[in-house]
Chain A
Amino acid sequence: MHGLRLAFNYLRIGVLNEFQYRANFYIQILQTFIALGTGLIGLNLVFSQTTQLGGWSKPELLAVMGVFITMGGVIRSAIQPNMERLMEEIREGKLDFALTKPADAQLLVSVREFRFWQLVDVITGIVVMGVALSELHWVIGAWSVLGFFTAIAMGAVMIYCFWLIITTTAFWFVRVHEIANLFEGLYAAGRWPIDIYPNWLRIGLTFLVPVAFAVTVPAEALTGRLTFQTWFGALALTAVLFTLARTIWKIGLRSYSGASA
């Protein structure tokens, strides 16, 4: 309970902070629309040559794109900024300030930053999903709604764990700045359903970088493809990744030798 209140307070401060920079809101809208526009152009180019891709129709792929944009917004608003700050603080020895606070350190480093304007992406993604679903003449079913919301929540947790594990390696390697770049490149693979990739890449995008669970699985729920096995696999992997991330974080903390800034 205490943890939730703490996270909420940080969120509030983050939002207030962002409201100081309203011009960023317009820049964010422009960026989102450019990204959406190029995404749609790509999609239309593919479907000007074919009627389906790896068993997915055009509106179904539009739904994938909606999930991709929404999840990207979640990552860039809540996950990535925290992890980048953590990386920076480990490198500069400033993490002491967080460690000396009387709260769980992992919780603290995970909630300190919040980029409010990135929520434009989240909303845009939801709109895209809505358009896709209306094109699919979607009928609301309990399993697809429930499956979608749980899958997207588990996907977000998995991406968070992935980021935390990578960031934690900064305790040993210090220079991990290129990671953000690498992640963005790999995340872009989520724009297309994971089925179209060759096997080795599909395995990598499922278990190494959980893009499959973050984007494809929620989209499967929306388009009525989600099986209970996949859903349960997602649940199991979430639990494993979370435990792993927590363990590596605890071990990493012991190697932290920053002597204050």
Chain B
Amino acid sequence: MKRYFDYYRATMKLSVLEQLQYPVANYFYMIGMIAEPVIYMVVWSAVARQQGGMVGGYTPGAFAAYYIVWTLVRNMNIVFTPYGWEWRIREGQLSMSLLRPIHPLHADVAYFAGWKVVVILLWLPLAFILSLIFKPELNPTLLQGVVFFFAIWMAYLIRTMILSLLGMVTFWTTRVSALFELYFAAELILSGRLVPLSLMPEWVQKLAWFFPFRWAFGFPIEALVGNLSTSDLLTGLGMQLAWILFGVISVSVIWKVAIRRFSAVGG
């Protein structure tokens, strides 16, 4: 246990130091990403104003809050991509990590977790500016704040596990981009990234309950912005935990089978 703790601490520290070297590159990346929620925010605020100030339970101020928190959750959602896995497997880059006496996934989880610390720091001024411009209505309770804190990190773990699973498909075939595209499209619709799920038709909302997407995206935002009851909040955390467990177990089982197929040398 101590071995893992030390490994995580060291890797995270390394990644924090490394990423702090590139504040401008990190900022450019974040600003490029902000265009998307700003567009959604403007469109839905316009719709809300036309409908007499509210649509689907959201006022323009609530939309602003939703999409500003969205930017943080989106950043927490960035993990080692399936395209990265494809590259890693196709080019034999995996060989090196296999030589280490620790599961290669730990390196991903720890490195990106460290990066998140930098991302959150850089996000704060950005969120401040966005708040000045779009005037969000946001008054979370202490409980909501605490749940949000855990929810974004659990969201990070869920997405890491699910995208690793997706990326590991590359062990069997290298023609994977079509599959990835479909996955990301489903995620866009069912996660709450395009619009808050409460604006979706009833059956889509029901459907979204059974996929990991909303637990890694919409739920953390709603936990802070919406008015979920305490039992909703706890159910959400429970679902997140369940998806993490499911992810960890599937990744380790599939990894054992998949790694036998890995034949690349060098890298």
Contacts and interface: CB of A to CB of B under 8 A. Distances in A.
- A, B from the same assembly: yes
Interface string B31-42: 111111011001
A49 B192 CA distance: 17
Contacts of B44: 46
B178 A188 contact: no
A27 B189 contact: no
Contacts of B107: none
Q: Which of B34, B43, B181, B194 has the most CB of A within 10 A?
A: B43
A201 B133 CA distance: 11
B46 A54 contact: yes
A188 B39 contact: yes
B47 A184 contact: no
Interface stretch (B49-57, B148-156, B161-169): B49-57
A184 B32 contact: yes
B43 A38 contact: no
Contact of B39 (A30, A41, A53, A189): A189
A138 interface: no
A30 B50 CA distance: 35
A49 B47 contact: yes
B250 to A, nearest CB: 25
B82 to A, nearest CB: 15
B239 interface: no
B188 interface: yes
A181 B39 contact: no
Interface string A31-42: 100100110011
B223 interface: no
Nearest to A196: B46
A151 B153 CA distance: 48
Interface residues of A, number: 33
A53 B43 contact: yes
Given A27-B177, A181-B28, A50 B35 contact: no
B14 to A, nearest CB: 23
Contacts of B43: 46, 53, 192, 196
A227 interface: no
B199 interface: yes
B28 A185 contact: no
B189 A192 contact: no
Contacts of B36: 185, 188
A175 B39 CA distance: 27
Interface string B197-238: 001110000000000000000000000000000000000000
A188 B35 contact: yes
Contact of B178 (A30, A53, A179, A197): A30
Nearest to A178: B28
B172 interface: no
Contacts of B177: 27
A49 B46 contact: no
A49 B55 contact: yes
B94 interface: no
A38 B194 contact: yes
B4 interface: no
B66 to A, nearest CB: 15
Given A27-B177, A42-B194, A197 B42 contact: yes
B195 interface: yes
Contacts of B51: 49-50
A186 interface: yes
A186 B35 contact: yes
A38 B46 contact: no
B39 to A, nearest CB: 5
A243 interface: no
Given A52-B50, A178-B29, 17 more contacts: A27-B177, A38-B188, A41-B189, A41-B194, A42-B194, A49-B47, A49-B55, A49-B199, A53-B46, A179-B28, A181-B29, A182-B28, A182-B32, A185-B31, A196-B43, A201-B38, A201-B42
19 contacts: A34-B182, A41-B194, A42-B195, A45-B199, A46-B47, A50-B50, A53-B43, A54-B46, A175-B25, A182-B32, A185-B34, A185-B36, A186-B35, A188-B35, A188-B36, A189-B39, A192-B39, A196-B43, A197-B42
Interface of A: 23, 27, 30-31, 34, 37-38, 41-42, 45-46, 48-50, 52-54, 175, 178-179, 181-182, 184-186, 188-189, 191-192, 196-198, 201
The 6 closest A-B pairs by CB, nearest first: A185-B35, A178-B28, A181-B32, A182-B32, A185-B32, A34-B185
